[in-house]
Amino acid sequence: MERDNIPPGEKKSCSVGSGLAEMVAVDKLRAVESLSLYGRQWLYERLKGIMKPVKGTKARKPKPHSLGGKRAAVAKAARRATPATRGQHSRAEVKRGTAAKAAAEASAARLGKVRKRPVQRQGPMTPIDVELPDADLPDPLAPVLPPIKREPGVDTSLWPVVAIVGRPNVGKSTLFNRLTSSRRSIVGDEPGITRDRIYGEIEWSGQHARVIDTGGILPDDPELIPSEIFRQAKVALDEAGSIVMVVDGRTPLAAPDYDLARMLLRGGKPLLLAVNKIDTKRMEEQTAEYRRLGIREILPISAEHGVGMGELLDQVFATLTFLPAAEPVEVEDETAEQGESRHRTHGEFQQHETSIAIIGRPNVGKSTLLNVLTGSSRAIVSPIPGTTRDAVDEVMEYDGGLLRFVDTAGIRRKGKTKMMAEKLSVVMARRHLEAADVALLVIDATEGVTSNDATIGGYAHESGRSVILVVNKWDLVTTGRTDGKPPADKVIFEEQIRNVLKYLAYAPVVFISAAEGKNIHTVLKLVKEVAAERRKRVSTGQMNRFLEKIDFQRATVPAANKMRIFYMTQAAVAPPTFILFTNRQVKLHFAFQRFLENQIRAAFGFRGSPIWFKVRAREK
């Protein structure tokens, strides 16, 4: 192959380094015409690998009659406006519009109504790199809002209570959801879904009351869970000022209905019989059969379709005793006392209580922990996995504040949940987790940290909840160990937790025994501390002085993700969110984010709470 026959003049006509121009020049050479097909292919691949286009050069436009030109014409026609829009912007329309505008300005100028506005010249922008004063700067992202006054919390403990009872699968949970206008209770076709007491609030004719949904009552069932459901229902009956007994209008009366009716009549409290699932007027004639229960007040309702709810609430509220409403107490503005601004949109408004969700795998001791923390028997405890289905909450007062603990159902994998009630309980558990402030991730010490624990911890981390790692059943691997192995070491066990849950390095670890009540006070102290750290705010001046002390050369960041931080400010709390004002709009590298997060935690704390970052490029 003779490559030296190429005239030097043809090479000089090509742009240096342009592969496309070189290939066009070679095609014009007579030497190429004498090459074989293999030789041309070799030369093309050779030039394609060696010659690179110069940065900034543009490719030639394809000829109109070529295939590329036709494709470009079709693409250009597709980008054109529609005929209706083109008619509005035609040349005639533009000329007429310009002429009309000029005539209007001329007539207005004659009348002296048009005045030229003076150009407002802005001075030079203040550089950001100047030295900041010692005083804290105001937050530039904070909206100017009026001071928000703190409203006193509503004390629902003085409200009258209405209990909804009945045998399993008669529609109690559906009626509860209808009265409270929520989906607080799980509803399904399977009998015995509700097991614990579920509290809600209702309002009717300007009056407020609390309503309790109970599990299906079978008084003579000796099994563990039915007997525990009956015990929970007895507690609800003792609290209630009025009782609504629900029966199924599509099935005949059964022996549990007669037993329950006799027990309720002996209690002497106002009793109302609600015959549920009466969807049509023709079915209302069947309600006369239920008078054999001995209850005077009978109402046909349909909880699913909302039929008869008004009549039911009228009769229920007529039997309740309401205490006189207390006079509202004016609360002084907290911001005036402290001399600092509060932003409702940033999550800094006063909280009346802290919500804590107890999450974890099934049968790790969540319900036992709830009962021990609140000092009650609020949740049903049994060795059977999956006992808890509905979320059970209880409020307690600790160190001058209110803590609401929410016991959630054990979260399993989707492939492990077969019944519809189990699937719904997992969904409700994640929903209550996202509504909480702090999450107590309970880990079984006898089984160690599993992949399911890591998945559940990921749910809490991604939702921005503060996390506390609670290792339960620690007594079974130390003092109460019966397998002959040496007792477990806290340091080694915590190291194993950190290796599996690396993304929860900020979460404190506490070892407890809920069954024996050991180290429970440490959990309460950590909850108060983590809740306070979650709502901590750092001023912009403190953050800028903090940035001046950081050696960013220690952070290993790829060249493509390097950036310069002009200043940083905290935009929100719960969780703490920081905005970085940089010179480039690039994604924050995970190594740099971890380095910056560690530096912030070392300087300001934020124990137990995740830290979020947002990058905002400086406008040119």
pLDDT tens, residue by residue, 421-456: 778 888 889 999 999 999 999 999 999 999 999 999
Amino acid 130: pLDDT: 38
Beta bridge partners of 582: 565, 617
Short-list 356, 426, 607, CA closest to 504: 607
Residue 223, classed as helix, strand or coil, is coil
Q: What is the pLDDT of residue 51?
A: 61
* Whole-number Å distance between alpha carbons of 148 and 146: 6
**What pLDDT does 347 receive?**
46
The pLDDT value recorded for residue 495 is 94
Q: Confidence class of residue 82 from pLDDT cuts 50, 70 and 90?
A: very low
Alpha-carbon distance 369 to 471, whole Å?
11
Provide the pLDDT for residue 557: 82
Residue 111, pLDDT score: 52
Split at pLDDT 50, 70, 90, the class of 180 is very high
Predicted local confidence at residue 316, as pLDDT: 95
Q: How far apart are CA 570 and CA 346, in angstroms?
A: 10
> Which tokens belong to 451?
């992949």
Q: pLDDT of 494-518, one tens digit each?
A: 999 999 999 999 999 999 999 999 9
Burial class (CB in 10 A: 0-12, 13-18, 19+), 140: exposed
Q: State the chain's mean pLDDT as an integer.
A: 79
Q: Are 400 and 430 in contact (CB under 8 A)?
A: no
454: helix, strand or coil: helix
Mean pLDDT to the nearest integer, 574-579: 93
Q: Which of 171, 335, 311 is nearest to 248 (CA)?
A: 171
Identify the weakest region by mean pLDDT among 12-26, 148-162, 393-407, 475-489. 12-26
Under 8 Å between Cβ of 487 and 481 = yes
Query: How does pLDDT run across 377-417, given as a tens digit for each residue?
Result: 888 888 888 888 888 999 999 988 899 999 999 998 877 77
For residues 225 and 232, is the Cβ–Cβ distance under 8 A? no
* Overall pTM surpassing 0.85 (yes/no): no
**Choice between 191 and 23, residue whose per-residue pLDDT is larger:** 191
Is the confidence at residue 6, as pLDDT, over 50? no
| Share of residues in the chain with pLDDT > 90 (%) | 44
User: What are the φ/ψ torsions at residue 572 (nearest 5 degrees)?
Assistant: -155, 165
Q: How far apart are CA 157 and CA 394, in angstroms?
A: 12
What pLDDT does residue 89 have? Answer: 52
C-alpha span between 525 and 399 (Å, rounded): 9
Q: Which domains does the chain have, with CATH numbers?
A: 8-76 (no CATH), 156-319 (3.40.50.300), 356-534 (3.40.50.300), 540-617 (3.30.300.20)
Has residue 462 got a pLDDT over 90?
yes
In the prediction, which pLDDT does 346 show? 46
Q: What is the pLDDT of residue 225?
A: 80
Spatial distance between the Cα atoms of 605 and 598, rounded to a whole number of angstroms: 10
Q: Give the pair of three-digit tokens for residue 297.
A: 């007040």
Distance CA(65)–CA(87), nearest Å, equals 29
Task: Using the predicted structure, report yes or no on whether residue 124 has a pLDDT greater than 50.
Answer: no
Mean pLDDT across the stretch 165-175? Answer: 93
Q: How far apart are the first and last CA of the chain?
A: 56
User: Taking residues 555-570, what's their average pLDDT?
Assistant: 85
Task: Taking residues 178-198, report their average pLDDT.
Answer: 87
Contact 566, 544 (CB under 8 A): no
Least confident of 141-155, 189-203, 246-260: 141-155
Peptide bond before 83: cis, by omega within 30 degrees of 0? no
Answer yes or no: is pLDDT of 128 > 50: no
248-285 residue pLDDT tens: 998 889 888 999 999 999 999 999 999 999 988 878 87
Transcribe 385-442 into DSSP letters. TT---S-EEEEEEETTEEEEEEEPPPP--GGG--SHHHHHHHHHHHHHHHH-SEEEEE
pLDDT of the residue at 284: 81
Q: Name the phi and psi angles at 296, rounded to 5.
A: -75, -50
Q: Which residue has the higher pLDDT, 600 or 8?
A: 600
pLDDT at residue 588 greater than cutoff 90: no
CA torsion through residues 319, 320, 321, 326, sign: negative
Q: For residue 6, give the DSSP letter.
A: S
